Amino acid sequence: MNFAPRYTRTAILLHWLIALLIIAGFILGLVMTDIAGLTMTKLKYYSWHKWLGVTVFMLAIVRVAWRSWQAPPATQALMPAWQEKAALVTHWLLYFLIFAVPLSGYFYSLAAGVPVVYFGVIPLPVLIEKNEALRDILQLVHVTLNYTMAALVGIHSLAALKHQFFDRDGTLARMLPFLK
């Protein structure tokens, strides 16, 4: 195995924390939209979903700041050029989506006339007024971006597993602290 240097502990922590919050938010989004009518449970899940989105957005800012200050370690895996390009494009699209998905959800909520109150305590600014036409557009944007992110996360995960079990090049160990 050709092991490449690991990411920093901070980068690893941010990666996995954001990944888990995104997965939780996605699952919660599926569950809450499947609940018929307007129930207390559905309202609670919507609040939790929004709180997850705001948290992901804030952690994304920290992650990008960390990455601009602390460059990722150079890869030592021998990959064809197309795989390196695909990995780079996928990573940058994921970075874009960890901002775009929460923002689209925030503006969707505002266009629906529902303010976002972080943890039920901190009201976020109302930047746009209620607008039903815009709400419908933003709902479609939010859903489309979410499914795009889910597909890219799937591709990213499958590529990591390919590197671990087929290429055996140590790429996954760079982001998993318990692999050697």
pLDDT band at 30 (very low <50, low <70, confident <90, very high): very high
Q: Which domain holds residue 170?
A: 9-174
| Model pTM score | 0.92
How far apart, in whole angstroms, are the C-alpha atoms of residue 109 and residue 46? 10
Q: Tokens 């995104």 belong to which residue?
A: 22
Say if 180 falls within a structural domain: no
Nearest to 143 by CA among 112, 100, 111, 113: 100
pLDDT in tens, 145-161: 999 999 999 999 999 99
How far apart, in whole angstroms, are the C-alpha atoms of residue 77 and residue 171? 7
Say if 14 falls within a structural domain: yes
DSSP symbol at 172: G
3-state DSSP of 86-130: HHHHHHHHHHHHHHHHHHHHHHHHHHCCCCCEECCCEECCCCCCC
pLDDT in tens, 57-96: 999 999 999 999 998 888 766 788 899 999 999 999 999 9
Structural domain tally of the chain?
1
Residue 2 pLDDT exceeds 50: no
Say if 179 falls within a structural domain: no
